[in-house]
Structure 1
Amino acid sequence: MPTLPDRDPATLLPPLREGGVIAYPTEAVWGLGCDPGNEAAVMRLLALKQRPVGKGLILVAAEVAQLDGWVRLDALTAERRAAVLQSWPGAHTWVVPAGPRAPRWITGAHDGIAVRVSAHPQVCALCRAWGGPLVSTSANLAGQPPARTRDQLDPALLAHLDGLLDGATGGQAQPTRIRIAANGQVLRD
């Protein structure tokens, strides 16, 4: 598995294009990611985490335009859409009605998709290099505590990754709050 310098996310593009699973620092914890449009990559990531597909996954992007087709911001009222857009970029994850590009292996058993436009510089650089959103789920086995530092990454997970973007999390104390975009209801605090 390649270990990459802080500012070279382009090195992860070949593994991502080939259906690989990578690890990278996010706002509060280390994340696992892959191409959300590649069903085999997503299923591999879910198997590594021991997470059921029905729970759905979060997508992270560098800018709102990268979410075009994945979500339907236009399905929200003007007031709710403004609340979502004003929170980005930042550590705010919203469940937005799924768009035509969002397959069931991403939405799970839900009609919405959890998305975040990050302000974390490495996440943004990675999504910009990739040219779109990436899956972003905590780098841990289901039910285990998330890794807050690279040293806390589970060796069992590391052994199966195709790349790792070295760096530091954004220092946030908790993973991002997840709220329903249509009404602001908190799903995860």
Structure 2
Amino acid sequence: MENFAQVITALQQGEVIAYPTEAVFGVGCDPDNEQAVMKLLDIKQRPIEKGLILIAADYDQLLPYIDDSQLSPAQRQQIQATWPGPVTWVMPTKANVPPYLTGQFSTIAVRVTDHPLVQRLCREFGKPITSTSANLSGQEPGRTAAEVELQLGHCLPAILQGDTGGRDNPSEIRDAITGNVFRQG
């Protein structure tokens, strides 16, 4: 049975949650809450320099974070053609996006998901959430709520119950400016 209310409350309270994505479970939090992001990095044992992905219900939710004025119409069209879907794009950021999200980069990785539960989660939360695989760095990502519970359950107040989108590989990651593929999907 889904537990949306519990998950939304946890996000609003600055907690880190887990949720199913297109291929694996992700862990996420409010991208505008630095303490929550630091908690997420600590849980994952992930270096801040790597930066994080933001996952959203629609393109408009990403506009406070990305500077799409740096993209040509052709680049924008290429991005829009893959969304909603399992492609993450690395885009220029707005000047006010904090380094705890971008890491060592002047860009940010963003995705408009096609996973119905995550779309609903972002809509009800009212903005994107951070998205990184639900595992300790170097471990296999969880593909079920039970696997996430085993690996990270002791640090997460809420795991959104549901199934992944059934894809084998995590999202492809591409550069919005050059079109280069950073990670094959």
Provide the rounded CA distance (Å) in 1 between the counterparts of 2:65 and 2:9. 23
Provide the rounded CA distance (Å) in 1 between the counterparts of 2:111 and 2:95. 18
1:128 aligns with 2:117: no
Q: Percent identity?
A: 47
1:170 aligns with 2:165: yes
Offset at 1:101? 4.3
Counterpart pick for 2:57 among 48, 59, 62? 62
Contact 1:26 1:123 in 2 (8 A): yes
Q: Name the SS of the counterpart of 1:23 in structure 2.
A: strand
Contact 1:56 1:110 in 2 (8 A): yes
Distance 1:86 1:101, change over 3 A: farther
Provide the rounded CA distance (Å) in 1 between the counterparts of 2:68 and 2:40. 27
Residue of structure 2 in register with 1:94 after alignment: 89
Q: Name the SS of the counterpart of 1:93 in structure 2.
A: strand
1:119 aligns with 2:114: yes
Residue of structure 2 in register with 1:141 after alignment: 136
Residue of structure 2 in register with 1:44 after alignment: 39
Deviant stretches of 4+, over 3 Å? none
Residue of structure 2 in register with 1:22 after alignment: 17
Contact 1:69 1:100 in 2 (8 A): no
**Size of the alignment, in residue pairs?**
184
Contact 2:135 2:151 in 1 (8 A): no
Q: Name the SS of the counterpart of 1:24 in structure 2.
A: strand
Contact 2:145 2:159 in 1 (8 A): no
Distance 1:156 1:170, change over 3 A: closer
Q: Map Cα deviations across residues 62-82 of structure 1 (whole Å, 9 max, x no partner).
A: 000001120012211111111
Q: Map Cα deviations across residues 137-165 of structure 1 (whole Å, 9 max, x no partner).
A: 10000011111122222534111102111
Counterpart pick for 1:184 among 160, 179, 183? 179
Contact 1:10 1:126 in 2 (8 A): no
Offset at 1:10? 3.5
Residue of structure 2 in register with 1:157 after alignment: 152
Contact 1:74 1:81 in 2 (8 A): no
Provide the rounded CA distance (Å) in 2 between the counterparts of 1:156 and 1:119. 26
**TM-score of the aligned structures, taking structure 1 as reference length:** 0.93
Provide the rounded CA distance (Å) in 2 between the counterparts of 1:102 and 1:181. 17
Unmatched runs of 5 consecutive residues or more in structure 1 = none
Q: Name the SS of the counterpart of 2:11 in structure 1.
A: helix
Question: Which shifted more, 170-179 or 68-77?
Answer: 68-77
Offset at 1:28? 0.1
Contact 1:29 1:138 in 2 (8 A): yes
